[in-house]
């Protein structure tokens, strides 16, 4: 038996080295920040990365206990950075211990392999975010009181769960940018992924900074449900191409989610916020309730929904053409080939007007018999 050749490790700090060991490097950086809690000198800086900042204690009534609420500020950048590192680590764990093992069993092509990894990562994130968002909305009783989207604006203070939800959302979508490099995403897939990553970052950060976190949370939850269904259906499709029923349900819910998003956005920016008491622009108070900002936000949401519907229609047309072509090719393969029909001989052994004798002997033999 020959010895197995060991794979040579790539040079230190080369591209391949960083790609193979990026999770370990990020883990070391996160551990350094956590170790900062052990020393009094660095603890105040480490806490800024790990814990949620800008805590405000508010007393609602004299009899009730004080409530801890939170605002946003510049220190949130450090918190987002730390949880961006956590997102990179979790991404690598899901990839190595779940998706890579499934890929070995399915034996997918390179194109399907890349899409399978993308759908696997996003499905896990959408599922977690959807459950988390639903738990927050049930506490807010949005179903019984939709006017809480604009009542009391500006909503400068939020509970811990809401602020931590937005911190994790921004951190996750920012971590998706370096993952394009770490996961060796194909060049033709990078523009498509960059589009939706940037849209998520802009919209979620905008809702967080403009104190529209209530509206943003309500719009994110149904959107994440639709996206979860799409990526779960794609995972089942890669395992078995006959499992395509999930795409039909996704198409229906996709249209409903777009209509719901437009309805709530027009209701909030067109009717709710213009009628609130606090009108004007003030950075100190966190008030952005002016016509220019309202129309800009509404236009951004409407244009995004229109772009998503355009992509959805093109996707459905492409699938319809592929389906029609497959059906046409199957019909051609199943239809029997036309066979030439044999003509029956006429009476007396005549075929095509020529009389044929049943005697198979040669003319010379017949003459010898006659003589």
Model confidence over 139-172: pLDDT tens digits?
876 667 888 899 989 999 999 999 999 999 999 9
- 234, with CB counted inside 10 A (0-12, 13-18, 19+), is buried
What token pair was written down for 314? Answer: 């093109």
This prediction has a pTM of 0.84
Q: Domain locations in the chain?
A: 11-50, 51-105+112-325
Mean of the per-residue pLDDT values for the chain?
86
* 364 has pLDDT over 90: no
Q: Are 37 and 50 in contact (CB under 8 A)?
A: yes
| Confidence at 371, pLDDT banded by 50, 70, 90 | very low
| Nearest in space to 224 (alpha carbons), one of 269, 266, 172, 268 | 172
Core vs surface per residue 187-226: b (16+ CB within 10 A) or e: eeeeeebeebbeebbebbbbbbebbbbbbbbbbbbbbbbb
Model confidence over 61-81: pLDDT tens digits?
666 778 889 999 999 999 999
Q: What is the pLDDT of residue 5?
A: 44
**Number of C-beta neighbours around residue 154 at 10 A:** 17
Element (H, E) at 85: helix 76-94
**Number of C-beta neighbours around residue 126 at 10 A:** 21
| Confidence at 7, pLDDT banded by 50, 70, 90 | low
* 48 has pLDDT over 80: yes
Q: Are 307 and 195 in contact (CB under 8 A)?
A: no
Model confidence over 64-123: pLDDT tens digits?
778 889 999 999 999 999 999 999 999 999 999 999 999 888 888 888 888 999 999 999
- 310, with CB counted inside 10 A (0-12, 13-18, 19+), is exposed
């Amino acid at each position: 038996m020959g010895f197995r050749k060991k794979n040579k490790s790539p040079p230190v700090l080369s591209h391949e080295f960083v790609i193979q060991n990026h999770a370990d490097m990020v883990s070391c950086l996160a551990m350094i920040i956590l170790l900062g809690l052990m020393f009094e000198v660095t603890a105040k800086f480490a806490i800024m990365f790990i814990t949620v900042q800008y805590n405000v204690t508010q007393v609602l009534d004299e009899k009730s206990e004080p409530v801890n609420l939170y605002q946003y500020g510049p220190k949130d950048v450090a918190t987002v950075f730390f949880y961006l590192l956590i997102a990179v680590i979790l991404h690598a764990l899901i990839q190595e211990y779940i998706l890579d093992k499934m890929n070995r069993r399915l034996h997918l092509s390179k194109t399907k392999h890349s899409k399978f990894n993308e759908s696997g990562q996003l499905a896990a994130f959408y599922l977690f975010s959807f459950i988390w968002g639903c738990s927050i909305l049930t506490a807010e009783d949005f179903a019984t009181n939709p006017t809480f989207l604009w009542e009391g604006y500006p909503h400068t203070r939020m509970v811990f769960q809401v602020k931590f939800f937005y911190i994790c959302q921004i951190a996750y979508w920012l971590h998706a940018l370096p993952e394009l490099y770490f996961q060796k995403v194909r060049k033709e897939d990078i523009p498509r992924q960059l589009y939706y990553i940037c849209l998520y970052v802009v919209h979620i950060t905008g809702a967080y900074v403009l104190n529209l976190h209530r509206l943003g949370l309500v719009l994110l939850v149904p959107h994440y449900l639709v996206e979860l269904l799409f990526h779960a259906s794609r995972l089942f499709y890669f395992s078995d191409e006959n499992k395509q029923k999930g795409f039909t349900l996704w198409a229906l819910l996709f249209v409903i989610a777009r209509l719901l998003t437009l309805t709530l956005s027009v209701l909030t920016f067109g009717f709710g916020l213009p009628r609130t008491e606090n009108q004007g622009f003030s950075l100190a108070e966190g008030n952005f309730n002016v016509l220019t900002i309202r129309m800009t936000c509404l236009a951004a949401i409407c244009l995004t929904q229109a772009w998503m519907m355009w992509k959805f229609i093109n996707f459905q047309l492409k699938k319809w053409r592929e389906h029609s072509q497959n059906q046409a090719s199957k019909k051609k393969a199943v239809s029997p080939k036309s066979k030439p029909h044999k003509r029956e001989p006429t009476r007396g052994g005549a075929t095509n007007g020529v009389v044929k004798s049943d005697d198979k002997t040669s003319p010379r033999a017949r003459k010898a018999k006659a003589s």
